[in-house]
């Protein structure tokens, strides 16, 4: 500790300290981003990422519409659903395409992202037409460029138009009915004359102003769309100014109140502090559950507080301490005889975080004499990644997009699971931050020496700043509208962004909060805890599948208890590394690493029982890994500790991020099933709570 107990001020989150390097595998952002945006770090896992990759012509789900830009046109789709016991997917069709025939010469030119923020992206998809794509807006808004003057507009479809008729004398509202059974409404800020050029194309010569298109799911909703058609959002920001709150605020133009759509988690978290009106009967279908109308241009989303802890909340039961200590001594002894062999940033991160757990468990069970050995191991294994002396890999700074890459990822996009093209940053860095937080806790002088590197790693995926001077993009992985993280990086996917392991995402923000505890940084503790809380709620909402809950179709929800890979437009029962029938892997990848925060990720004992019951038959399959079995037994221990202990003691090996010590710590720190009587738990001799 510094003199008088003062903590050093954390370094500026804008700064980066790792050596700068030029990647040979990253795409050129100048192809799609407007020149004025290139001076600041750019998003690499955002909701519109497909618009910035390859040809930029893959769709993105903006809620409630899938939108695609191609050939100087903007295609809008209200997606249909295709589902089975193994997947649930939204399918894209070119329901309506807006373009300008006069821009035909620009058909080979890419669109331009001219502005973006937390809740929207503004796209110039032709020289004369601009789209304000705001997430959760029931309208898609297209405006003509002021400098272009009157523009000839085309509205086309893959479906035949059965009706294209004005609904008012001013010709500012039109009903478009197609042979697909769909009806869209078109609103215009000025009179527009739609003429049927062919069965599948409408033409509007000489229009200047704003066009808004809305799908009509139910005739009863038309009056609501009419009422709010004249006020349109152009941008939106989400502020993390208060612990466990996210404040939405949209910029708008036009007249009247703003109508937006809320997903099921939004509705659950909408605070009474904001003056909004929920329209319960105004609903759009979505793979994320019904999207419900909300009137108001600012929302407050508030969740319950979460206090990140180093240790279990109940403590290890007295009758289990000896068993934990015996395993602890063996696992600590093995550190010296089992050096880390991998150079992979992911697997190396798991290995050092695994070791760091042993130090915290030692604190909790009153076995401080093993901590020096863990300290030596962590100092020897973590330091080389921070000072650049590690042989074979290391972290570097990429100035093209603005973020960390690895040495192996500079020339190989597949190395380190794509870390060099910005995939899985929160997973890899989360493990490193966990080990750094523990090492800085037990060795404050080491922590002070490498504080800048630690904060640079945090900033890579947790920067809040929007300033041009920042070294890292704002919240690289966390989606402030969906309220969870995405992986995928700078890879184009037809189904949009994806995320597999919610628990590793939770670990990332939780580890950042622990780092804040180590450095006495209450702001980092608060932000880390807040993102942890929202990530867990999103996991419980969309990854944890409860039969009959209604978000997913019955055939999918009856056959699954956890989603494997969740995409923007799809829910998969398979994993990147395992088929659907390997249910133990699906459970494990949504639980690892096993930490004190894990009990908050799985708070519903009834669901835990269903999940374990659903998974257990898969353990009879030949070749099931012992490590995956350990995670199943860990969850079984939530409601049947003795059975789980017997199975855990019989395991021959453990996951490379887990130990027998950690499993026994978990099982011996479980309370009673009803969660009302916690039993006699030993209070660890050094416990530190956040806030």
Number of domain units in the chain: 2
* Tokens linked to 409: 């990822």
Res 368: pLDDT: 98
Residue 208 sits in the same domain as residue 337: no
Q: What pLDDT was estimated at residue 16? A: 83
Distance CA 596, CA 607 (A): 19
Average pLDDT over residues 177-192: 98
Tell me the pLDDT tens digit for each residue of 322-339: 999 999 999 999 999 999
Q: 257 lies in a domain?
A: no
Q: How confident is the model at residue 383 (pLDDT cuts 50, 70, 90)?
A: very high
- The answer to whether residues 325 and 469 belong to one domain is yes
Residue 263 lies in a domain: no
Q: How confident is the model at residue 199 (pLDDT cuts 50, 70, 90)?
A: very high
Distance of CA 136 to the CA centre of its chain: 17
Res. 8: pLDDT tops 60: no
pLDDT reported for residue 52: 98
d(CA 56, CA 59): 8
For residue 307, what are its two tokens?
């206090």
* DSSP, residue by residue, 117-158: -SSEEEEEEETTEEEEEETT-SSEEEEE-GGG-SEEEEEE-S
293-308 confidence digits (pLDDT tens): 999 999 999 999 999 9
The vertex-311 CA angle with 310 and 315, nearest 5°, equals 160
Per-residue pLDDT band at 688 (split at 50, 70, 90) = very low
- pLDDT band (50, 70, 90) for residue 147: confident
The answer on 536 and 406 residing in a single domain is yes
Q: Do residues 525 and 518 make contact, with C-beta atoms less than 8 angstroms apart? A: no
324 shares a domain with 225: no
Q: What percent of the chain has pLDDT over 90?
A: 91
| CATH label of the domain that carries residue 215 | 2.70.98.30
Contact 140, 213 (CB under 8 A): yes
The predicted model gives 638-642 an average pLDDT of: 98
Nearest to 98 by CA among 177, 189, 178, 207: 207
Split at pLDDT 50, 70, 90, the class of 107 is confident
Check whether 678 has a pLDDT greater than 50. no
Please report whether residue 7 resides in a domain.
Answer: no
Q: Which uninterrupted H or E stretch holds 175? A: strand 173-178
CATH of the domain at 646: 1.50.10
Q: Roughly what angle, to the nearest 10 degrees, separates helices 660-668 and 641-649?
A: 170
What integer is the mean pLDDT of 5-20? 64
Q: Report how far apart, in Å, the C-alpha atoms of 294 and of each of 267, 283, 289, 459, 479 are.
A: 9, 10, 15, 34, 20
How far apart, in whole angstroms, are the C-alpha atoms of residue 294 and residue 270?
10
Residue 683, pLDDT above cutoff 50: no
For residue 6, the model assigns a pLDDT of 46
State the residue for tokens 């050092």. 352
DSSP output for 612-671 = HHHHGGGGGSTT--HHHHHHHHHHHTTT-HHHHHHHHHT-S---TT--HHHHHHHHHT--
- 46: in domain: no
Question: Which residue has tokens 């923000």?
Answer: 509
- Which residues lie across from 153 on neighbouring strands? 204
Identify whether 217 is part of a domain: yes
Q: State residue 684's pLDDT score.
A: 36
- CA–CA distance, 666 with 659 (Å, rounded to integer): 11
Summarize pLDDT for 27-73 with one digit per residue, the tens: 999 999 999 999 999 999 999 999 999 999 999 999 999 999 988 89
383 lies in which domain range? 320-492+499-543+555-669
Catalytic residue IDs:
424, 500, 504
Q: How confident is the model at residue 255 (pLDDT cuts 50, 70, 90)?
A: very high
> 202, 232, 262: which is the final residue of a domain?
232
Q: Which two tokens stand for residue 612?
A: 């374990």
Q: Is 234 helix (H, G, I), strand (E, B) or coil?
A: strand
454 and 346 fall within a common domain: yes
Q: Are 61 and 48 in contact (CB under 8 A)?
A: no
What is the end-to-end Cα distance of the chain in Å, rounded? 20
Instruction: Give the pairing of strands 183-188 and 210-215.
Output: antiparallel
- Asked if residue 12 has pLDDT above 70, the reply is no
Identify whether 67 is part of a domain. Answer: yes
- Give the predicted TM-score (pTM) of the model: 0.96
Which pLDDT band holds residue 208 (cuts at 50, 70, 90)?
very high
Mean pLDDT, the chain, whole residue set: 94
Are 226 and 361 within one domain?
Answer: no
Question: For residue 681, is pLDDT > 80?
Answer: no
Residue 145 lies in a domain: yes
Tell me: do 532 and 408 sit in the same domain.
yes
Q: How far is CA 691 from the centre of its chain?
A: 25
Q: What pairing do the DSSP bridges indicate for beta strands 231-239 and 120-126?
A: unpaired
Distance CA 31, CA 394 (A): 29
383 falls within a domain: yes
Q: Note the pLDDT tens digit of each residue in 349-378.
A: 999 999 999 999 999 999 999 999 999 999
The residue from 232, 259, 288 where one domain ends is: 232
Answer whether residue 680 shows pLDDT above 70.
no
| pLDDT over 70, % of the chain | 95
| Cβ pair 229, 212 in contact under 8 A | yes
Domain co-membership, 484 together with 380: yes
Q: How confident is the model at residue 671 (pLDDT cuts 50, 70, 90)?
A: confident
How buried is 640 (Cβ within 10 angstroms: 0-12 exposed, 13-18 middle, 19+ buried)? middle
Peptide bond into 128 cis (omega under 30): no
Q: Indicate the residue among 214, 232, 250 that finishes a domain.
A: 232
Q: What is the pLDDT of residues 420-429, one digit of tens each?
A: 999 999 999 9
Q: Where are the alpha helices (DSSP H) in 388-450?
A: 425-442, 444-449
pLDDT at 676: 37
Q: pLDDT confidence of 10, banded at 50, 70, 90?
A: low
DSSP conformational letter for 242: S
**DSSP label at 20?**
B
């Amino acid at each position: 500790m510094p003199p008088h107990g003062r903590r050093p001020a954390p370094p500026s989150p804008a700064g980066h300290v790792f050596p700068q390097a030029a990647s040979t595998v990253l795409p050129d952002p100048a192809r799609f981003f407007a020149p004025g945006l290139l001076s600041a770090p750019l998003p690499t896992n955002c909701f519109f990422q497909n618009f910035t990759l390859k040809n930029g012509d893959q769709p993105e789900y903006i809620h409630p519409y899938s939108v695609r830009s191609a050939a100087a046109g903007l295609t809008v789709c209200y997606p249909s659903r295709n589902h089975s016991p193994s997947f649930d997917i939204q399918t894209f069709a070119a329901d309506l395409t807006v373009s300008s025939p006069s821009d035909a010469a620009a058909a080979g030119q890419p669109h331009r992202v001219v502005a973006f923020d937390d809740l929207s992206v503004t796209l110039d998809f032709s020289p004369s037409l601009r789209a304000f794509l705001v997430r959760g807006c029931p309208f898609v808004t297209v405006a003509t460029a002021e400098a272009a003057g009157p523009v000839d507009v085309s509205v086309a479809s893959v479906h035949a138009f059965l009706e294209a008729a004005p609904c008012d004398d001013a010709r500012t509202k039109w009903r478009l009915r197609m042979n697909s059974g769909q009806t869209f409404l078109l609103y215009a800020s000025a009179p527009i004359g739609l003429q049927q050029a062919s069965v599948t194309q409408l033409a509007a010569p000489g229009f200047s102003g704003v066009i808004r298109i809305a799908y009509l799911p139910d005739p009863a909703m038309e009056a609501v769309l009419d009422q709010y058609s004249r006020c349109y959002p152009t941008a939106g920001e989400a502020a993390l100014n208060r612990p466990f709150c996210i404040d939405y605020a949209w910029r708008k133009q036009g007249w009247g109140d703003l109508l937006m759509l809320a997903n099921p988690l939004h509705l659950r978290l909408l605070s009474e502090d904001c003056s909004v009106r929920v329209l319960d009967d105004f609903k759009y279908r979505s793979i994320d559950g019904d999207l419900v109308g909300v009137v108001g241009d600012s929302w407050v989303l508030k969740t319950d507080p979460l206090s990140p802890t180093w240790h279990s909340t109940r403590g290890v039961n007295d009758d289990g301490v000896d068993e934990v200590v015996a395993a602890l001594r063996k696992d600590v002894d093995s550190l010296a005889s089992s050096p880390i062999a991998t150079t992979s940033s992911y697997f190396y991160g798991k290995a050092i975080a695994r070791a760091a757990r042993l130090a915290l468990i030692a604190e909790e069970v009153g076995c401080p004499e093993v901590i020096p050995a863990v300290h030596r191991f962590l100092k020897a294994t973590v330091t080389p990644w921070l000072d650049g002396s590690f042989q074979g890999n290391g972290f570097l700074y990429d100035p093209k997009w603005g973020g960390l890459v690895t040495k192996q990822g500079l020339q190989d996009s597949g190395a380190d699971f794509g870390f060099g093209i910005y995939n899985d940053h929160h997973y890899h860095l989360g493990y490193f931050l966990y080990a750094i937080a523990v090492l800085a806790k037990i060795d404050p002088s080491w922590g002070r020496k490498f504080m800048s590197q630690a904060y640079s790693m945090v900033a890579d995926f947790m920067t809040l700043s929007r300033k041009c001077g920042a070294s890292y993009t704002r919240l690289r992985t966390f989606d402030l509208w969906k309220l969870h993280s995405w992986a995928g990086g700078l890879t184009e996917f037809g189904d949009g962004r994806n995320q597999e392991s919610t628990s590793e995402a939770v670990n990332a923000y939780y580890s950042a909060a622990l780092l804040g505890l180590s450095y006495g940084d209450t702001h980092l503790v608060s932000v880390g805890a807040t993102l942890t809380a929202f990530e867990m709620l999103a996991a419980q909402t969309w990854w944890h599948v409860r039969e009959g809950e209604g978000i997913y179709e019955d055939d999918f929800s009856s056959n699954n208890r956890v989603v494997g890979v969740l995409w923007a437009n799809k829910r998969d029962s398979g994993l990147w590394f395992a088929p659907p029938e390997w249910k133990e892997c699906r459970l494990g990848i949504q639980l690892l690493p096993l930490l004190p925060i894990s009990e908050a990720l799985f708070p519903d004992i009834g669901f835990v029982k269903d999940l374990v019951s659903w998974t257990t038959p898969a353990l009879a399959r030949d070749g099931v890994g012992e490590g995956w079995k350990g995670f199943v037994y860990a969850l079984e221990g939530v409601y049947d500790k003795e059975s789980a202990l017997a199975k855990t003691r019989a395991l021959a090996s453990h996951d490379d991020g887990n130990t027998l010590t950690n499993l026994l710590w978990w099982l011996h720190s479980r309370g009673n099933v009803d969660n009302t009587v916690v039993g006699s738990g030993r209070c660890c001799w050094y416990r530190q709570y956040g806030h």
